[in-house]
Structure 1
Amino acid sequence: MSNLRLKILQSLLRVEEGSYSNLLLNSELKKIKDQRDKSLFTEIFYGVIRNKLYLDFIIDNYSKTPLVKMDKEVLMGLRIGVYQLFFLDKVPARAAIYESVEAVKTILPNSKKGAVSFTNGVLRNINRQHDKLALPAKAKNPEKYLSVKYSYPIWMVNKFVQQYGFESAETILNAGNKRSEVTYRHNSLKMTEKEFFQLLKADGIEYEKTFLDSFFRLKKINNPAATQVFKKGGAYIQGTSAGLASLLLDVKEGMQVLDLAAAPGGKTTHLAEIMNNTGEITALDISQHRLNLVSDNLSRLGVTNVNLKIADAAKYEDDKKYDRILADLPCSGLGLISSKPEIKWEKDRSVIRKMADLQYRILNNNLSKLKKNGQLLYSTCTLTREENQDLIERILQENSDFKLMDLNIKLNEISSLTIENKNKYLELLPGEVDSEGFFFALLKKVESD
């Protein structure tokens, strides 16, 4: 068990250094044979990342040593221990403390025995007195209260409260702390829906319907990339909000489509499936490594109508005119916190402006590539006005030959989603919709070139 906590500690330190949590977790789980250990590793690993600020708040209340003066290994060991004490009822307090201390003891050199004793003392103190812990007063400082309770940086809390109000902000924050669920998109290019269901049943996988017909939420799946249906190309792992993009773009067979930021290929392959491998999709990405991921997915899913190009979409030149353009662009990612909780700690306010500037340059460079009456779908997986509503308003003000289309009618046609939306664009908020946070705006070119 102590070895498991050690592996968790080492993995969490790697996330702090910039590793992607989902990729790192998948890699570590492959090394663990016991299913209970897999589940415990996942629970503590993601639990610590999601609740880091709250855990630090607790530690800071019971430690005389400031957090900034602690060894990084000690602080992470304390977080692991505190998470178990506060969130895992099935782990005895004695075991939680002992295993966490042993992990710190193993990772630190012998010269740091004092740090090990310190870790043990702080955890025991917290265990004795944790009932006395009080959150910041909600009435006195509501945003600080939300920040600590839901473990989000204060700037992000302020942003959500400013845009959506206190109640909706709290809903978003709470939803972001819930573990994201795995969703399969059935790929009809490789198999019928009947065959898809048969393979799910053969692997003993339970599922439930979502608000999109071809998307199914899986229950208790250990490794969604190891199933028969996935290996045979009948399924792609894709969230329902992300799945809306290809459907809202309303592509038809035989069309010419430009995908401005294709990797890893979820929306690209979905477009190809809807088009039944007809026409042509020109799919761009700035990174050859990322294009290789797209290529792998094209091969597994049986897609044959995609032309991959390594290119910077903000500078891409092309005399061709397209029927449809998918602009699912790089963003701050604040709608994906449930699946990538490290986003909370990796981002700051400056990234919003940087992303908005990049998004503007990409759109500005590619609007002219659309045919008359052609359509461009702009989408992001974030929740900031600067990257969404404000950007689209600016584009429309500067380009009189484009108009904003109403997405509500199309949404009703392609999904069972029922939301109150008084706008022509579509914004999905975590907690209000059982999916990721996303923004969509559909632009149509209305005048001749």
Structure 2
Amino acid sequence: MRISQVRKFALLIVKSVLEDGRWTNKLIVPYLFELQDARDRRLLTELVYGTVKMRLHLDWVISKFLKGYSLDELTPWIRNILRISAYQILFMERIPDYAAVSQGVQLAKRFGHRGVAALVNSVLRRIAENRPEPRDPWVKHSHPKWLYLRLLELWGYEKTVEFMMHNNEPPHIYLRFNQLKTDIDSFLKMLEMRKARYRKLEFPSESFELIDPPQLIDLPEETYFVQDFASQLVAHFIAPEEGMTIYDLAAAPGGKATHLAELMQDNGTIIAVEIHLSRAKEMQRVVNLLGTNSVLPIVADSRQISFGRKADIVFMDVPCSGLGTLRRRPELRWRMTPQRIDELVEIQKDILENGSRFVRPNGLLVYTTCTIEPRENELQIQKFLEKHPEFEIEPPPAEFPTKFLRDKFLYVDGARFQCDYMFGVRLRKRG
């Protein structure tokens, strides 16, 4: 039997992500382009994202049938062949068990030898016959135990399970059309000419959900930007005006900075700060592509940068744990740690402290994250305000939908709105 091209691609990607520390969203794109059939593209996406997300659950099941071996004793290739094959058996009802087993055996012969292929055959057959179910919720829903316990502490059992189930679903794909390069009617025509399957969102008015990956629809690159729905809300939460000066700290990859520029009709100045040169160069490429000439990327550390004048708005989408993005970034749950969160809290505090110095009187400081951890969100802001009474929390613009708010904070519930979780606050500096 021939090895399925989709399964071979899935193995190459999953092995690179789980063993070599690579990132799923960057690795999968060239492989998607090689697949002509939309069904194959969807299969590859589900196999890769699903296997990476459900790693803990899969490893628990596989280990029950590895007699005399541990997963760590297997080669990375065989370990991930078992994971991909077990995922098909346990979570993809439309794929017959015999097909998953057979393809797993063929991959084992290709990336191992006949002896280990026999082991793979035995383990997969037993999984298909027995289908054991983990009892521990964090294993069943495949999240690190430390995160499960933290969520229980914050939310209780029911919302914790809802959060984990949300993270294990396929991510929805959103984009916004570039208001500097096209208009809504022209963009709709472009989508319809390409027979794209989409959903037009009520708010923001420039936002769409795409059913197929946007890389494959062949839209003119300058007419759109792929950006999660929750992230698209941020520019409207800030509500910039034409002619303003904005300092965007930690700005890469440039989605929010260019969105602000579009809402300002590219009339103003947005200094977009990024600490890493490679990411700043990529942000400049995005700026050039979208034609947002008011965005000026610079390389600097937002914790130490100094500006010669104060800004109307200082915006900081600070580095955070990203716990609100686990559906879209499947490997992050295995890489984030409590110790790293401690480090990020200190980085956020330093950016807040430094950035706040450059808000003009009556100006605005906007702080956002894509995490659900209160130490990075409300508690971080509470500590800042205790030290800086010259700032006060300001309500969002009157036209901003209240369903995305909690009290005066931006709070996007990812499970409810099928997107990332997002936190934000507007702080007005007293005159």
TM-score (norm. length: structure 1): 0.91
In the alignment, what sits opposite 1:418? 403
- Aligned residue for 1:246, secondary structure, equals helix
Residue 57 (str. 1) matches residue 25 (str. 2): no
In the alignment, what sits opposite 1:121? 122
Gaps of 5+ in 1: 137-144
Gaps of 5+ in 2: none
1:364 offset after TM fit, Å? 0.8
Paired-residue identity, %: 28
Cα deviation 1:330-385 (Å, max 9, x = unaligned): 11111111111111111111111111111111111111100001111100111111
Residue 390 (str. 1) matches residue 379 (str. 2): yes
In the alignment, what sits opposite 1:225? 215
Residue 216 (str. 1) matches residue 207 (str. 2): yes
- Aligned residue for 2:151, secondary structure, equals helix
For the residues of structure 2 that align with 1:219 and 1:134, how far apart are their CA atoms? 34
CA gap of 1:209–1:135, structure 2 versus 1, over 3 A, is same
Q: Is the contact between residue 185 and residue 215 of structure 1 (CA under 8 Å) also seen in structure 2? A: yes
The match for 1:264 among 226, 240, 253 is 253
For the residues of structure 1 that align with 2:166 and 2:371, how far apart are their CA atoms? 14
TM-score (norm. length: structure 2): 0.95
- Aligned residue for 2:265, secondary structure, equals coil
For the residues of structure 1 that align with 2:218 and 2:8, how far apart are their CA atoms? 33
Q: Is the contact between residue 181 and residue 217 of structure 1 (CA under 8 Å) also seen in structure 2? A: no
Aligned pair count reads: 427
The match for 2:102 among 98, 105, 109 is 98
Cα deviation 1:102-158 (Å, max 9, x = unaligned): 1122112x4xx432221111111111222xx2431xxxxxxxx32022111111111
Q: Is the contact between residue 85 and residue 96 of structure 1 (CA under 8 Å) also seen in structure 2? A: yes
In the alignment, what sits opposite 1:142? none
In the alignment, what sits opposite 1:47? 50
1:311 offset after TM fit, Å? 0.5
Q: Quote the RMSD (CA, aligned, Å).
A: 1.7
The match for 1:174 among 165, 171, 175 is 165
Residue 440 (str. 1) matches residue 424 (str. 2): yes
Cα deviation 1:52-105 (Å, max 9, x = unaligned): 111111112222222232322222111111111112222221111111121122
CA gap of 1:217–1:175, structure 2 versus 1, over 3 A, is farther
Residue 251 (str. 1) matches residue 234 (str. 2): no
For the residues of structure 2 that align with 1:275 and 1:310, how far apart are their CA atoms? 23
In the alignment, what sits opposite 1:135? 134
For the residues of structure 1 that align with 2:175 and 2:40, how far apart are their CA atoms? 25
For the residues of structure 1 that align with 2:330 and 2:307, how far apart are their CA atoms? 38
Cα deviation 1:298-344 (Å, max 9, x = unaligned): 12212111222111111111121000011001111111111111111
1:265 offset after TM fit, Å? 0.9
For the residues of structure 1 that align with 2:310 and 2:363, how far apart are their CA atoms? 9
Residue 158 (str. 1) matches residue 158 (str. 2): no
In the alignment, what sits opposite 1:381? 370
Q: Is the contact between residue 429 and residue 438 of structure 1 (CA under 8 Å) also seen in structure 2? A: yes
For the residues of structure 2 that align with 1:356 and 1:320, how far apart are their CA atoms? 27
- Aligned residue for 1:303, secondary structure, equals coil
Kindly provide the amino acid, as one letter, of the partner of residue 422 in structure 2. F
CA gap of 1:3–1:226, structure 2 versus 1, over 3 A, is closer
Q: Is the contact between residue 172 and residue 418 of structure 2 (CA under 8 Å) also seen in structure 1? A: no
Q: Is the contact between residue 249 and residue 376 of structure 1 (CA under 8 Å) also seen in structure 2? A: no
